[in-house]
């Protein structure tokens, strides 16, 4: 779990650095790879770094951010979306384990460690962020009271 957390933190830090980069002149391999998966992407914004490309875009009502190496391989990605896009086994498990809470937003992180979901739940008094793997194994990532 700590490795996943550190991966998520590193990825978030990398995403924050994107505001300081220059617009990219994306190579053909990367563009071909991107368009083969994300043919309906809108608001696409590329940024180039020394050894990779960062892209941010919208697709299917989701904000998506991804890193590609110079050979067109997606290194990692993060997607932000509503509960309706969660895998059904995870959605069902949340409804069973947290019946009094509603899902506010989901952050899906894909990297070498697989796919992890950070699900923000809310009720009248608290916010709870749970982490789930693809098999709906949960742990409480963070919890705090509403102000």
Same fold, 2-75 and 83-145: yes
109's enclosing H/E stretch is: strand 102-111
Task: Supply the pLDDT for residue 112.
Answer: 93
Residues 39 and 64: their CA atoms lie apart, in Å, by 13
Per-residue pLDDT tens digits for 37-68: 999 999 999 999 999 999 999 999 899 999 99
Residues 136 and 121: their CA atoms lie apart, in Å, by 15
Residue 137 — very low, low, confident or very high, per pLDDT cuts 50/70/90?
very high
Per-residue pLDDT tens digits for 73-125: 999 999 999 999 999 999 999 999 999 999 999 999 999 999 999 999 999 99
Task: Supply the pLDDT for residue 24.
Answer: 60
- Token output for 136: 């709906």
Task: Supply the pLDDT for residue 88.
Answer: 97
C-beta separation of 146 from 128 below 8 A: no
**What is the mean predicted confidence (pLDDT) over 113-141?**
96
Could you tell me the fold of the domain covering 2-75?
Nuclear Transport Factor 2; Chain: A, (3.10.450)
The CATH number of 83-145 is 3.10.450
Task: Supply the pLDDT for residue 52.
Answer: 95
Name the residue ranges covered by the structural domains of the chain. Answer: 2-75, 83-145
Residue with tokens 């180039």: 48
pLDDT at 13 over 70: no
Q: DSSP labels for 75-107? A: EEEEEEE-GGGS-HHHHHHHHHH-TT-EEEEEE
């Amino acid at each position: 779990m700590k490795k996943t957390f550190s991966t998520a933190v590193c990825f978030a830090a990398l995403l924050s650095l994107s505001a300081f980069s220059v617009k990219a002149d994306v190579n053909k391999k990367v563009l071909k790879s991107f368009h083969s998966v994300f043919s309906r992407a809108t608001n696409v914004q590329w940024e180039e770094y020394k050894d990779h490309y960062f892209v941010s875009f919208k697709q299917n009502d989701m904000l998506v951010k991804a890193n590609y190496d110079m050979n067109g391989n997606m290194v990692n990605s993060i997607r932000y979306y509503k509960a309706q896009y969660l895998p059904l086994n995870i959605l069902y498990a949340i409804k069973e384990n947290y019946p009094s809470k509603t899902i506010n937003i989901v952050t899906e992180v894909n990297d070498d460690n697989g796919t992890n979901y950070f699900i923000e739940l809310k009720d009248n008094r608290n916010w709870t962020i749970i982490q789930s793997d693809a098999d709906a194994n949960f742990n409480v990532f963070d919890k705090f009271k509403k102000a």
